[in-house]
Amino acid sequence: MGKRVLVVSSANMDITLPVARFPAPGETAILGGGVSYTPGGKGANSAVAFAKLGAETVFCTRLGRDSHGETLYDYYKECGIDTRHIAIDRDRPTGCAVILVEPSGQNRILCYPGANRYISESDVDEAFLSCPDALYLQLEIGEATVLAAADYAYRHEIPIFIDAGPARADFPLESLPPVTVFSPNEVETEVYTGIHLTGSDSMLAASMELFSRVRAEYIVLKLGDRGAFVCNGRHFKFLSAFPVSAVDTTAAGDAFTAALTLRYLENGGDIVGAVRYGCAAGALTATRAGAAYAVPTAKEVAEFLEQQGESV
């Protein structure tokens, strides 16, 4: 039986607009390509990644009672996600995000949280009845809900993994209970620490600054096409990225952290092996358009790692 992971996080309908370049302030740009509406949201992208990678995935989120909510709910069921802890909000719409993607694959995202902000503590308490092996969080939902979920997991000795996006300068990181992994990307790291990531000195300095605020066993910095940096407070390792041609980087980080979490749970805590696996899942996600649709399966990651001459 696979590991059971409880994801308490966001679900969005992504409205993706491919642009030749990001418009300047005051400029109106006309789209060359078409607009697409596809499943996204940091939490949902990770939940889909867990499911495709073979975890028993319980998703606790909140959708609006609208057509976007229905489409997303049906998609999660198709992916084999346990949807029993998805609440339907009568008063607020499903979250959505407008995503501009440049030909390089680089994106800019504007997110409207909608119902995501109202995932309640009782939604979360009920979701823990699923008896998960781990709790997985991101910061795209209400602060009180994140803290309540983390607190519940800590009191019940359930390991906690946190993808630290999106960046929230005012988030009280010090109030989190001890966690296994805390993983921000470059932008988030700079917001939380004030340190711009250049070489490994700055990565180490940022990790140590994060350790002074978050009681984490490991800080894992996501560095996009540079790779990842993992640190336990005494030792560190930089892992370079797999070379791929990026089409759309949306959800690459979400897939990375989910894959790293699942691998860590499965491989008895080999953090470096888990980060490598996360790098492979993130790289593959960046080679495809869209968010949740772009996330690879366990078989695809295994084949990719083999092609790269790495053991799975």
Q: How far is the CB of 233 from ligand RIB (least distance, A)?
A: 27
Binding window for ligand RIB (CB under 6 A); candidates: 10-18, 53-61, 196-204, 224-232: 10-18
* 116: alpha, beta or left? (left if phi > 0; alpha if psi -120 to 50): alpha
* Dihedral sign from CA coordinates of 134, 138, 139, 145: negative
Check residue 248 for interaction with ligand RIB (CB under 6 A). no
Check residue 281 for interaction with ligand RIB (CB under 6 A). no
DSSP code per residue over 197-249: --SHHHHHHHHHHHHTTS-EEEEEEE-GGGEEEEE-SS-EEEEEPPP---S--
- Taking the least distance from each CB to ligand RIB, the nearer of 19 and 204 is 19
Q: Pick the binder of ligand RIB from 6, 8, 41, 184 (CB under 6 A).
A: 41
Check residue 295 for interaction with ligand RIB (CB under 6 A). no
- Which residue's Cβ lies closest to ligand RIB? 40
3-state secondary structure of 52: helix
Q: How far apart are CA 291 and CA 48, in angstroms?
A: 10
Whole-number CA gyration radius for the chain: 18
Residues touching ligand RIB, count (CB under 6 A): 16
DSSP code per residue over 72-89: HHHHHHHTT-B-TTEEEE
DSSP code per residue over 133-182: SEEEE-SSS-HHHHHHHHHHHHHTT--EEEE-PSP-TT--GGGS--EEEE
Q: Pick the binder of ligand RIB from 56, 123, 188, 254 (CB under 6 A).
A: 254
Residue 194 CB neighbours (<10 A):
10
Check residue 291 for interaction with ligand RIB (CB under 6 A). yes
Q: How far apart are CA 174 and CA 190, in angstroms?
A: 17
Q: Pick the binder of ligand RIB from 9, 12, 83, 189 (CB under 6 A).
A: 12
254 is a catalytic site residue:
yes
Q: Pick the binder of ligand RIB from 82, 89, 140, 248 (CB under 6 A).
A: 140
Q: Pick the binder of ligand RIB from 42, 62, 222, 263 (CB under 6 A).
A: 42
Binding window for ligand RIB (CB under 6 A); candidates: 9-17, 59-67, 123-131, 258-266: 9-17
Q: How far is the CB of 11 from ligand RIB (least distance, A)?
A: 8
Catalytic residue among 74, 82, 254, 270: 254
Check residue 282 for interaction with ligand RIB (CB under 6 A). no
- Taking the least distance from each CB to ligand RIB, the nearer of 63 and 291 is 291
Spatial CA neighbour of 298 closest among 7, 1, 51: 51
Q: How far apart are CA 95 and CA 112, in angstroms?
A: 6
Q: Pick the binder of ligand RIB from 100, 146, 251, 255 (CB under 6 A).
A: 251
Catalytic residues: 254
Q: Which residues bind ligand RIB (CB under 6 A)?
A: 10, 12, 14, 40-42, 45, 97, 109, 111, 140, 250-251, 253-254, 291
